[in-house]
């Protein structure tokens, strides 16, 4: 917010950036430069949607600044835990995410130009609004470690009248605005918000029919010829204190400590960006990657809510909640390799916290040992699945999605596998065992003695996906069984179900296939365009069928080509999934080109994404697709620079995380891998493919245990680093 200082720093940065990028800067220095460079050069023409706005967030609160109409702009205020909590079975109406409202900056004349910018490095948004009466600038900060929002309005160069007013949004399910969404009978919005002014603090209190309520309170100050608006919020389920609580928070704010608060905010973000580094010689992809990294820490923290489809930035949407059949999985997918487990903790904590709901989600006869998760719901993860073996009762497609929880647990397991936190391992083992137990209830043997699913389940989003033996479920079941067996092997095969798991895995029916590759399900070929790759999970992300298996090259190619041959329904995540599959195949040029097409065709100016309304997951999945050009882990092997585009000659990364609690750093110069460093947090063995072109030397701590062609097994002690360098 100190404009002169920012200008000086920016000019210094621009002066040194070009020369430094060609010198021997460390990967971390180059990455921090790229963060600053993205902030400096990427501007967003402000428009009348949130996709043309600039945003901030701290995992609980957030702002989005964009235009409201020809003479005003708005600053949306979001809070990620404000969900309705009525009784009933219609999650998206009775327990939806609720918008709070916005500040409207009403000018006296029309806007002639409006440009926004996000300073990623310092986590601050700015909007410059031009009119014939001058310029007004609006900056926003959502404090990183305190739940306050600060708006700064610079009106010194605006020579006309204006006003800033708070506008509460109608407190009802945003899904109500979409005619195809069937709402419950007698559905009513919550009562009208009550706005009061007490000791220069304006409070908007929204009571809720189910009890409790939420509030937005704000106060204004003039400091150094600038107007400041400080905002606090509160949300209470069981009492009416939210308004008073927000007022108290504003009354106790220490304005004399504002400079140190801003410095602490910036320091948090500066440290955040040092956890890993990722340098791309393509400005478009680098900017995109940097924005996703910023977006993730704006959308969640270890002690904040798990990310729903909107993050802190609400808008009109038919998706006011959580979706568990792809969206949440993709949202969290990039965090593990990026070494930002502190953010991924919000997913682990949400699953642990809602364990009782996971039990209630399965039919009563299975609740004694099983858990599941249906298609969508609220923060309590109540989303029933009603698949029962032998039942002829009609159920909805969403109630037939049996695999969602096990797929979500893939990321819980990754959190364990990438940290080797054994306490976490014990928890995911118990959860995975219970989610696979649900499948065990549904299995039987066919006439050839092979296990199969003897109840119809649903392959997400395919019109005829309600069928026996969907590839969605078979892929998920195979991954779950393999993982349980591997985990129990390490425990000494103590689980009494171990022999049963092995028997099922060895005798489970093969994935249904035809001349076009993998089908949707038994007796259900792929005949219509399908944006979801639910039928291809065995290829990605589970790698059960992978490119190391030369005998499977043909089926992989055919399946992907058949899927992509019908483009009518393909969406953004169809491209990110496609790019990841190409990366597994080592086809970096194709993967990179797919990602650039994705960005240019589907990604909005501020890198948000929409399908009828804002959905956060797809650009975040794109971040992982880019990561996989540099590092992959599958089939037990960590692969360094496995799919680099041919024209990316000089690239690097630092501290990307992989299986076994190892942090990998690597440098590639003139199109050749020159250095790979392996840091071991817990000690142990790593199987790695460093992809050097010739001989290399080792230094540091570690012993070679085994070599098989270009794959090496090293034992690296706890807290030590082994470095490999090309000769």
Chunked into runs of 10 residues, the chain (727 residues) has average pLDDT values of 41 37 77 96 96 98 98 98 93 95 97 98 98 98 98 97 97 92 91 96 98 98 96 97 98 97 98 98 98 98 97 95 98 98 98 98 98 97 97 94 98 98 98 98 97 98 96 98 97 94 98 98 96 97 98 98 97 98 98 98 97 95 98 98 98 98 98 98 98 96 96 98 97
- Please give the torsion angle defined by the CA atoms of residues 297, 299, 305 and 308, in that order, rounded to the nearest 10 degrees: -140
Residue ranges of domains in the chain, CATH in brackets: 43-180+187-273 (2.70.98.50), 340-566 (1.50.10.10), 651-726 (2.60.40.1180)
Q: Tell me how far the alpha carbon of residue 689 is from its chain's centroid.
A: 28
pLDDT at 493: 86
Residue among 140, 290, 278, 291 at smallest CA distance from 607: 291
Beta strands in 420-542 (DSSP E): 443-445, 451-453, 457-458, 466-467, 513-514, 517-518
Which residue is listed with tokens 């259900």? 524
Other CB atoms within a 10 A radius of the CB of residue 239 amount to 11
pLDDT at 5: 37
pLDDT at 459: 98
pLDDT at 180: 86
pLDDT at 88: 86
Token readout for 63 is 């702002």
pLDDT at 120: 98
pLDDT at 702: 97
Residue among 674, 675, 693, 682 at smallest CA distance from 658: 682
pLDDT at 593: 98
pLDDT at 182: 85
């Amino acid at each position: 917010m100190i404009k002169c200082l920012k200008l000086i720093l920016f000019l210094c940065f621009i002066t040194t950036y070009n020369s430094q990028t060609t010198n021997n800067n460390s990967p971390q220095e180059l990455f921090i430069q790229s963060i600053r460079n993205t902030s400096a050069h990427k501007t967003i023409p402000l428009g009348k949607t949130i996709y043309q706005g600039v945003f901030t967030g701290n995992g609980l609160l957030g702002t989005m600044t964009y235009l409201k109409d020809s003479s005003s702009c708005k600053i949306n205020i979001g809070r990620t835990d404000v969900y309705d909590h009525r009784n009933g079975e219609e999650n998206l109406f009775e327990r939806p995410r609720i918008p709070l409202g916005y500040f409207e900056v009403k000018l006296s004349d029309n806007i002639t130009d409006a440009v926004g910018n996000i300073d990623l490095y310092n986590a601050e948004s700015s909007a410059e609004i031009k009119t014939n009466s001058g310029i007004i600038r609006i900056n926003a900060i959502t404090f990183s470690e305190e739940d306050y929002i600060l708006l700064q309005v610079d009106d010194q160069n605006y020579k006309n009248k204006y006003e800033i007013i708070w506008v509460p949004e109608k407190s009802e399910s945003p899904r109500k605005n979409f005619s195809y969404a069937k709402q419950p009978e007698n559905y009513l919005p919550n009562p009208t918000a009550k706005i009061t002014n007490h000791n220069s603090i304006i409070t908007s209190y929204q009571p809720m029919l189910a009890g409790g309520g939420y509030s937005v309170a704000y106060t204004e100050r003039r400091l150094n010829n600038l107007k400041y608006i400080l905002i606090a919020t509160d949300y209470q389920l069981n009492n009416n204190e939210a308004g008073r609580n927000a007022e108290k928070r504003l009354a106790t704010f220490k304005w004399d400590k504002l400079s140190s608060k801003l410095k602490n905010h910036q320091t948090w973000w500066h440290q955040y960006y040092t956890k890993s580094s990722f340098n791309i010689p393509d400005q478009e992809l680098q900017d995109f990657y940097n924005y996703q990294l910023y977006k993730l820490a704006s959308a969640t923290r270890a002690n904040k809510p798990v990310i729903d489809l909107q993050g802190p930035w609400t808008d009109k949407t038919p998706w006011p909640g959580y979706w568990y059949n792809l969206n949440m999985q993709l949202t969290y997918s990039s965090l593990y390799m990026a070494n930002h487990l502190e953010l991924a903790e919000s997913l682990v904590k949400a699953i642990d916290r809602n364990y009782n709901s996971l039990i209630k989600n399965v039919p009563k006869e299975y609740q004694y040992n099983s858990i599941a998760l249906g298609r969508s719901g609220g923060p309590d993860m109540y989303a029933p699945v009603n698949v029962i073996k032998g039942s002829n009762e009609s159920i909805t497609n969403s109630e037939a999605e049996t695999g969602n929880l096990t797929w979500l647990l893939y990321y819980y397991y990754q959190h364990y596998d990438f940290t080797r936190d054994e306490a976490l391992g014990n928890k995911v083992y118990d959860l995975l065992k219970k989610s696979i137990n649900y499948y065990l209830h549904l299995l039987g043997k066919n006439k050839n003695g092979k296990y199969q699913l003897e109840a119809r389940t649903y392959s997400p989003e395919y019109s005829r996906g309600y069928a026996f033996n969907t590839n969605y479920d078979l892929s998920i079941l195979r991954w779950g069984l393999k993982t349980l067996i591997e985990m129990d092997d390490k425990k000494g095969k103590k689980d009494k179900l171990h022999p049963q798991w092995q028997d099922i895995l060895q005798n489970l029916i093969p994935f249904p296939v035809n001349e076009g590759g993998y089908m949707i399900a038994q007796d259900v070929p792929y005949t219509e365009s399908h944006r979801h790759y639910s039928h291809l999970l065995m290829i990605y992300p589970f790698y059960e069928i992978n490119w190391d298996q030369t005998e499977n090259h043909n089926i992989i190619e055919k399946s992907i080509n058949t899927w992509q041959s019908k483009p009518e329904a393909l969406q953004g995540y169809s491209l990110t999934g496609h790019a990841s599959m190409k990366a597994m195949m080592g086809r970096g040029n194709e993967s990179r080109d797919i990602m650039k097409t994705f960005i240019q065709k589907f990604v909005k100016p501020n890198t948000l994404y929409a399908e009828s309304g804002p959905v956060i997951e797809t650009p975040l999945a794109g971040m992982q697709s880019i990561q996989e050009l540099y590092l992959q882990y599958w089939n037990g092997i960590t692969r360094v620079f496995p799919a680099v585009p041919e024209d990316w000659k000089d690239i690097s990364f630092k501290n990307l995380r992989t299986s076994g609690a190892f942090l990998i750093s690597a440098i590639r110069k003139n199109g050749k891998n020159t250095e790979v460093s392996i840091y071991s947090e817990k000690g142990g063995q790593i199987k790695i493919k460093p992809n050097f072109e010739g001989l290399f030397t080792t230094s540091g701590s570690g012993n070679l245990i085994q070599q098989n062609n270009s794959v090496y097994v090293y034992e690296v002690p706890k807290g030590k680093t082994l470095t490999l360098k090309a000769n």
